[in-house]
Amino acid sequence: MKEGYSASAPWRPPGASAEGQPPASAAGPLDRPPLLEPPGTIASVTQGVCQFLERPAPAWWLPATIVTGLVATLVLAANAYLVGTGVGVWGVQVPVVWGFAIINFVFWIGIGHAGTLISAILLLTRQKWRNSLNRASEATAIFAVACGAIFPAIHVGRQWMAWYLIPVPQYIAIWPNFRAPLLWDVAAVLTYLTVSVLYWYLGMIPDFATLREREKHPWRRKLFAILSMGWSSSAREWNHYEMGYLCLAGLLAPLVLSVHSFVSCDFAATILPGWHATIFPPYFGAGAIFGGFAVILVLLIPLRALMPELKEFILPIHIEQMAKWLLTTGSLVGYVYLTELFLAWYSANPFERYAFWNRITGPYAPEFWGMLTCNAIAPQLLWFRAVRRRPWIVFGVAVLANIGMWLERFVIIVISLHRDFLPSSWSLYHPTWIDIGLLVGSVGLFLFLFLLFLRFLPIIAMFEVKALCNGAAEVTSASPEPPKASLADLEHATFGLGARFPSAAALCRAGRALREKGFRRIELYSPYPFHGLAEAAGHGKSWVSACVLGAGALGFCIAVCLEIFTSIPRPAPLRGLLSSHLLDLFFPLVVQGKPYISLPAFFAVVFETTALFSAFGAVLGILLASSLPRFHRPLFDWDLFSRRSQDDGFFLLVERRDPRFSADLPRLLKEIGALEIRAIPE
């Protein structure tokens, strides 16, 4: 779809049937703009996405990668100097004991949330406009969380002892304090990063199979074969894949809200004015989604100009939809700012009132007003459709939003700390070149990773975008050649008989027809999943969800037992029964007068562990139920299947061991619409 294109009715390929469309009323149907540039076909999606990977890199890619890679080395240089010298090279001092390191940590962790929101929550709500955006969004989430995870590791001072943050017993048999919000951070961030990587990789498996069949270079072909784990796009695989993918999306949806909520507890759990507020968890969550959408817009809008092929998939309607989210979350963030000011005044607490008055009129007032302008005022331009439909204006608003979200963390951390309860200790915070180098270097690292991803992996989820073309296959996949003659001899079909069909609908009709005639050992193959595929092949409900439930219950029990046993005194009756090493498991910590078993404080780690084990259960369930990895299948030796099954081909296989397998099968397959029939040897 070209810039400014509008359609009066949903697009359909020439000659495609309008079957399934509701009849137009007298007032006219509800028009929705298309989500794919016409004429969008299944084959054109594969060609459009793969051409950037297969052709030489554009002239701008290598210089941009080199520049961002050099900027990323600032992280290594600054960290090397920091480890060799100490955290005194930062600008932190009393009372500003947290500086750029924590600001950058919260900023990057927040950015990582919109990728999950687009890919997971919009999947659960069946928003199809996400199909062209989710792959890039998931990548930004992983890269942003990876950049953010650097800063807690270096902030501990003694970096070689950062493993103390992991919930394992230390060498002196002291367990971490599970009541501490800093440990919640570790559990939340590591869980979110792990589940996001699993979700991202799981979504890439079908596309890895497509690249496997298109790749000509031997070792790259083997690499994609390993990454795809022998994926064949069978109805059985799609059946379990969709269930596991949906379960992972369901897990990531609450993780979006939990991770930044737990990060906010680093502040809200204290008594410092400006931090001690119950509004922080939803406040941080809304700000994270706002900043994440802004980063995705900042990346994708220039890419549409630099990579013209992306305009076939990322249309103005996608930019407009994300602009609406930016407006919604920006307005919510602005509402929270006003709520904070009102609560500080309404509390009648002189310390709270002064903390916020200091933000407005103090030495850091420019940062506060810059934050308010970028995050709350600038997004209000997006109320106007004419603004939302101009990508470069949306780009400018998104850039301001990113600046504003970084300033928000600066305001929360530095301004709240620089004037504490003792006026004699008041001082201003001045970042050093190490602070600035870590910030700039982390931005360079993020862009460097994204450019590598852009060059070597598909930025568009091909199989999901192909689902938007459903209905076009009848026209685009049809072969001009007539079906081959019936196979007179089936001796070579030692494994089974394969057939190609012109469309998804024809494939389902063929599967149902064979099952009605008593065939049971059949399988259907489609380059994308669609409703009715598993039923036509005779597959029942996937049991991957049971794996997710069982693994989640196991994770819940392990976390509960770990937290309770490491928090209660050593039972006296067990002293003579257990070895001293097992007795080390019991090590009670009395913290702030809290009970040994503090259920509210234990909830964070229990929730994250449950989500982590559930994610592993989803992935393992998909692999076990689909018999993956399986690197060789007899169908792979059929050249037509290898060339088109992952692209635009629809295939059916009848196994030789089916009781109904007979010499009449080729004639039957041609009668139900097969375009080409082939004997498949073992």
Average pLDDT (421-444) is: 92
pLDDT band at 27 (very low <50, low <70, confident <90, very high): very low
Can you point out the beta strands (E) in 126-244? none
CB-based contact 132:161 (threshold 8 Å): no
Chain-wide mean pLDDT for the chain?
85
Average pLDDT (20-47) is: 62
pTM over 0.85: yes
Position 581 scores a pLDDT of 56
Question: What contacts 24+ positions apart, CB below 8 Å, involve 539-544?
Answer: 539/235, 539/236, 539/239, 542/239, 542/240, 542/242, 542/243, 542/244, 542/625, 543/621, 543/625, 544/240, 544/243, 544/244, 544/247, 544/618, 544/621, 544/622, 544/625
Scan for tokens 């980063």, then name that residue.
295
Position 411 scores a pLDDT of 95
- Containing 677, the helix (H) or strand (E) segment is strand 676-680
pLDDT in tens, 112-123: 877 777 788 888
Average pLDDT (596-622) is: 91
Specify burial of residue 160 (Cβ count, 10 A radius: 0-12, 13-18, 19+): exposed
Question: In the 8-state DSSP scheme, what is residue 60?
Answer: T
CB-based contact 175:587 (threshold 8 Å): yes
Helix%, strand%, coil% for the chain, nearest 5: 65, 5, 35
Question: In the 8-state DSSP scheme, what is residue 658?
Answer: S
pLDDT band at 362 (very low <50, low <70, confident <90, very high): very high
Report the C-alpha gap between 262 and 645 in whole angstroms: 45
Scan for tokens 């989604």, then name that residue.
289
Question: In the 8-state DSSP scheme, what is residue 56?
Answer: P
Average pLDDT (256-281) is: 87
Which pair of tokens denotes residue 511? Answer: 């599967």
Position 474 scores a pLDDT of 44
Comparison of pLDDT for 323 and 125, the residue scoring more: 323
Q: Which of 150-164, 443-457, 575-589 has the highest mean pLDDT?
A: 443-457
**Per-residue pLDDT for 476 more than 50?**
no
Average pLDDT (626-651) is: 91
pLDDT band at 564 (very low <50, low <70, confident <90, very high): confident
Average pLDDT (610-632) is: 94
Q: Which of 10-24, 25-39, 74-88 has the highest mean pLDDT?
A: 74-88
- Containing 496, the helix (H) or strand (E) segment is strand 496-501
Which pair of tokens denotes residue 653? Answer: 């296989």
Position 207 scores a pLDDT of 95
Average pLDDT (525-548) is: 94
Segment among 63-67, 110-114, 357-361 with least mean pLDDT = 110-114
| CA 118 to centroid of chain Cα atoms | 8
CB-based contact 143:296 (threshold 8 Å): no
CB-based contact 164:124 (threshold 8 Å): no
Average pLDDT (599-622) is: 92
Partners of residue 523 on adjacent β-strands: 653
In one-letter notation, the amino acid at residue 501 is: F
**Residues 6 or more apart from 454 whose CB is under 8 A from it?**
52, 61, 303
The angle that helices 100-116 and 433-456 make with each other, rounded to 10 degrees, is 20
In one-letter notation, the amino acid at residue 61 is: W
Average pLDDT (570-581) is: 61
Torsion of CA 69, 72, 74, 79, to 10 degrees: -130
Comparison of pLDDT for 196 and 178, the residue scoring more: 196
Report the C-alpha gap between 174 and 589 in whole angstroms: 9
Position 96 scores a pLDDT of 92
Which pair of tokens denotes residue 599? Answer: 């259920």
CA distances from 223 to 213, 214, 247, 321 (A): 12, 13, 28, 36
Q: Collapsing DSSP states into helix, strand and coil, what is residue 432?
A: coil
pLDDT band at 18 (very low <50, low <70, confident <90, very high): very low
**Per-residue pLDDT for 215 more than 70?**
yes
CB-based contact 118:133 (threshold 8 Å): yes
Comparison of pLDDT for 589 and 31, the residue scoring more: 589
**Is the peptide bond preceding residue 23 cis, with omega within 30 degrees of 0?**
no
Q: What is the DSSP string of 352-412?
A: HHHHHHHHHHSTTHHHHHHHHIIIIIGGGGGGSHHHHT-HHHHHHHHHHHHHHHHHHHHII
Query: What count of residues does the chain have?
Result: 682
**Per-residue pLDDT for 663 more than 90?**
no
Report the C-alpha gap between 334 and 254 in whole angstroms: 23
Position 206 scores a pLDDT of 95
Q: Collapsing DSSP states into helix, strand and coil, what is residue 590?
A: coil
Report the C-alpha gap between 254 and 209 in whole angstroms: 30
Average pLDDT (81-102) is: 91
**Per-residue pLDDT for 528 more than 90?**
yes
Question: In the 8-state DSSP scheme, what is residue 234?
Answer: B
pLDDT band at 26 (very low <50, low <70, confident <90, very high): very low
Which pair of tokens denotes residue 577? Answer: 């029964």
User: Cα-atom radius of gyration of the chain, to the nearest Å?
Assistant: 29
Average pLDDT (207-228) is: 92
Report the C-alpha gap between 246 and 252 in whole angstroms: 10
**215 φψ region: left (φ > 0), alpha (ψ -120 to 50), beta (else):** beta
**Per-residue pLDDT for 16 more than 50?**
no
CB-based contact 633:641 (threshold 8 Å): no
Average pLDDT (464-479) is: 61
Helices (H), 6-99: 42-54, 61-85
Q: Which of 49-63, 437-451, 652-666 has the highest mean pLDDT?
A: 437-451
**Per-residue pLDDT for 404 more than 80?**
yes
Report the C-alpha gap between 305 and 298 in whole angstroms: 12
CB-based contact 512:536 (threshold 8 Å): yes
**Per-residue pLDDT for 151 more than 70?**
yes
CB-based contact 107:409 (threshold 8 Å): yes
Scan for tokens 């994204």, then name that residue.
450
**Per-residue pLDDT for 486 more than 80?**
no
Segment among 52-56, 400-404, 619-623 with least mean pLDDT = 52-56
pLDDT band at 15 (very low <50, low <70, confident <90, very high): very low
Report the C-alpha gap between 497 and 666 in whole angstroms: 8
**Is the peptide bond preceding residue 379 cis, with omega within 30 degrees of 0?**
no
Position 355 scores a pLDDT of 92
Segment among 31-45, 505-519, 558-572, 635-649 with least mean pLDDT = 31-45
Position 482 scores a pLDDT of 45
CB-based contact 466:527 (threshold 8 Å): yes
**Per-residue pLDDT for 455 more than 60?**
yes
Position 39 scores a pLDDT of 65
**Per-residue pLDDT for 302 more than 90?**
yes
The proportion of the chain whose per-residue pLDDT surpasses 90, expressed as a percent, equals: 55
